[in-house]
Amino acid sequence: MADTDPVFNIQRVYLKEASLEQPNSPAILLEQEQPSVEINLGVNAENVAEGVFEITVTATVQTKIKDKTVFLVECKQAGIFEIRNVPDDQMGGVIGIACPQIVYPYLRGNVADLIQRAGFPPVHLAEINFQSMYEQQTAAQQGESPIITQ
């Protein structure tokens, strides 16, 4: 293998951070009303060494009844990837699409497990189209209107 061949290796996938808060327990647990659920996702990439990147996918899940929080879960799942000799015009897609697609299933499982261990029915995060998410972020950074197709 030549030194100029593209390299893409997964070094490690790990749970970077997880927190669960139930600030209004136990009183809120006696409520009969269905809670609302809000889910926010984010992706972050950091160059940690020459050709080595940490990609972090973050999920925040908050459920509320009226204005009171039932639970709040914040979870960061990360992966360390060795990425070398990839053309610059393809690097954004590798970091913004391929890597998060590898990390995200682990995040989904950890979020569902954490919520279930807290005594609630698990919240299963939906599949994410990271390509669409990446294209929207790229368009927003360039000040363009993103083209969204379903």
Please give the tally of structural domains in the chain.
1
Residue 101: per-residue pLDDT:
96
Residue 122: per-residue pLDDT:
84
Beta strands in 22-135 (DSSP E): 36-49, 52-65, 68-84
Calpha distance 68→61 (Å, rounded): 14
Flag whether 2 is in a domain.
no
What pLDDT, in 10s, does the model give residues 36-69? 999 999 999 999 999 999 999 999 999 999 999 9
Helical H runs in the chain?
88-93, 99-117, 130-141
Calpha distance 55→73 (Å, rounded): 20
Flag whether 18 is in a domain.
yes
What pLDDT, in 10s, does the model give residues 88-142? 889 999 999 999 999 999 999 999 999 999 999 888 899 999 998 888 888 887 7
Residue 149: per-residue pLDDT:
42
Flag whether 149 is in a domain.
no
Flag whether 30 is in a domain.
yes
Flag whether 24 is in a domain.
yes
Flag whether 145 is in a domain.
no
Kindly report the pTM of this predicted structure: 0.86
Helical H runs in 7-124?
88-93, 99-117
Flag whether 91 is in a domain.
yes
From residue 39, how far is each of 58, 76, 87, 95 by CA, in Å?
10, 13, 34, 23
pLDDT above 60 (res 144): no
Position 100: which residue type? P
Calpha distance 123→143 (Å, rounded): 34
Q: Which CATH number characterizes residue 109's domain?
A: 3.10.420.10
